[in-house]
Amino acid sequence: MTAEPIDTPAEDARPDALTRAMILTTLTMVTALYAMTVTIANVSLPQMQGALSATTDQIALVVTFNIIATAVATPMTGWLAARYSRRTILIWGVSGFTIASLACGLAPSLELLVVARIFQGAFGAPLVPLSQAIVMDSYPKHQQGSAMAIFGMGVVLGPVLAPTVGGYLSEVYNWRWVFFMIVPCGLAALTGVLIYIQDRSKAGSSYLDWTGFLTLAVFIASFQFMLDQGERLDWFDSTTILLCGAAAGLALYLFIAHSLTAERPFLDPKLLLDRNYAIGLLLVFVFGMLNFTPMTLLPALLQGVRGYPDSIIGVILGARGVGTLVGFFFMFWGSKLDPRPTLAVGFALQGIAGWYMSQFSINLTTFDVLWTSALQGLGVGLVWVPLTIVSFNTLPRSKTAEATAIFHLVRNFGSSIYISIAIAIALNGARVNYAEMTAHARPTNEALQFQDSLFRVWELDSTGALAGLSGEMARQAAMIGYLNSFYAFTLTSFAVLPLMLLIKLRR
């Protein structure tokens, strides 16, 4: 797809200050609405599994297919913006997203829930990149940093607030309320779009490169499914995984070859000639990898290893939101600083938080999770605004719609890939360590004998005792698996720091 100007207002053609503020408020609400669904289902997956009589593999599809639908639909934002007005896309996107959320809550079976989640992801995909493009076009360069600090609260705080409120509602009522709570928020966002978003301009001519779109869609869907289900299906011992891997490799080759030779490719590779934008894509890929991974691992850890209820887990995850909020408040005034040191500090703080998470013991306390989550959230809050400034600092405004679509595609793809990798590391570590522990579970092992006349560690003389020992070994092995994932998170956070030296800013 060619990157044609969608809406390039001159400085004096931008809306006035009050109108800009209402546009920013509305689009922040739209962004938060979509961002809520990134993690809202995770906190209630065990309850969904029981209510819908699903296996662990089956209930995981509720998250997997939503991620795939989002990743596939996100690149179409540029083409939609060229064919229809931004206002039209937002109206249909918010409306469809709200209806799909209601359908998720009403779904009587797992199959219909997965279908509703697919529509939820597809309708929600254009909302974030299109909202960001409108915000950036509405504000002059010197105010974009402060505007993106406010806008970024919706991107990052939505996934934090959702499990906090959703965990409480699912415990008091049931899992369906994590989706019902989105409906009034969707109606409020739709009202704001109808009133304040009046941009009806469009590029006029539009062209969709079907070859590029379909090959990219097949690659994303196949690769994501392979990563998400690989550990459960024993990787390449499974015919399904082999077929997905082959389809992903072939589709990626065809997409790259076609994009480099087509006259009007679906995604313009010339955007990568802009040095800052290319580096920004690498950084936002890593940002996506780091952003939601702890929020995916911690609920399962706290619930499975420590036995925390849903409502308490939601509150604990809210600590990350406090840290993120502090980071955004700082960036509201600090956006005029050189973004490179701030980026480095943000990624370093996430690495430090990951390191301390990797040192958790089996008896970790609530305070341990609270302060490390808040520190990771602070790093996220410090990264988002300078990352946006760096990525779009040297791009012409005519490229905004397509560039933001690719930007958020890469971010979402990084999140989905790394979540799958982190879960695979945790599951593999748990399985391997459980096997090693069972090899030592024998009567001759001194650790399983009497320590003194008053305290007995374990007994092996009954079925109940053996079951208890097996459960404890599974708990310990699962904890080691989670710690391995946090080690990988730490290494990823620090590995990206040298990229800061490659950034050049236009003054």
- Report d(CA 498, CA 284) in Å as an integer: 15
pLDDT (tens digit, 9 = 90+) per residue, 70-111?
Answer: 877 877 777 777 777 778 888 888 899 999 989 988 888 888
Angle (nearest 5°) at CA 506 between 14 and 202: 35
- Report d(CA 326, CA 156) in Å as an integer: 12
Reference 28, options 204, 185, 249; nearest CA is: 185
- Report d(CA 183, CA 108) in Å as an integer: 18
pLDDT (tens digit, 9 = 90+) per residue, 280-300?
Answer: 888 988 888 887 788 778 877
450: which strand partners? 456
3-class SS letters over 355-392: HHHCCCCCCCCHHHHHHHHHHHHHHHHHHHHHHHHHHH
Q: Which two tokens stand for residue 248?
A: 């992903």
DSSP 417-438: HHHHHHHHHHHHHHHHHHHHHH
CA atoms within 13 A on the CB side of 268: 21
CA distances to 44, 157, 214, 321 from 121, in Å: 18, 18, 17, 23
Provide, rounded to the nearest whole percent, the portion of the chain with pLDDT above 70. 81
What does the pLDDT read at residue 71? 76
What does the pLDDT read at residue 14? 60
Reference 39, options 170, 151, 229, 224; nearest CA is: 170
Q: Which two tokens stand for residue 351?
A: 């690495």
Q: Which two tokens stand for residue 88?
A: 């039209």
Contact assessment for residue 497 and residue 384, using Cβ atoms and an 8 Å cutoff: no
Task: Give phi and psi for 48, each to the nearest 5.
Answer: -60, -45
Reference 408, options 125, 207, 171; nearest CA is: 125
Residue-level length of the chain? 507
Give the pLDDT of the chain (507 residues) as one tens digit per residue.
Answer: 334 443 444 444 566 677 788 888 888 888 877 777 766 776 677 777 777 777 666 776 787 778 778 877 877 777 777 777 778 888 888 899 999 989 988 888 888 888 998 898 888 888 887 887 787 777 777 777 677 777 776 666 666 677 677 767 777 788 888 888 888 888 888 888 888 877 666 554 456 677 888 888 888 888 878 877 776 777 777 888 889 889 989 998 998 888 888 777 777 787 778 788 888 888 988 888 887 788 778 877 887 788 777 667 767 777 777 788 788 778 777 667 778 888 889 999 999 999 999 888 888 888 888 888 889 888 888 888 888 888 877 777 667 667 777 887 788 778 778 877 888 888 888 888 878 877 766 665 665 554 444 444 555 566 666 676 777 788 888 888 889 999 999 999 999 888 888 877 665
Q: Which two tokens stand for residue 395?
A: 């791009």
What does the pLDDT read at residue 48? 79
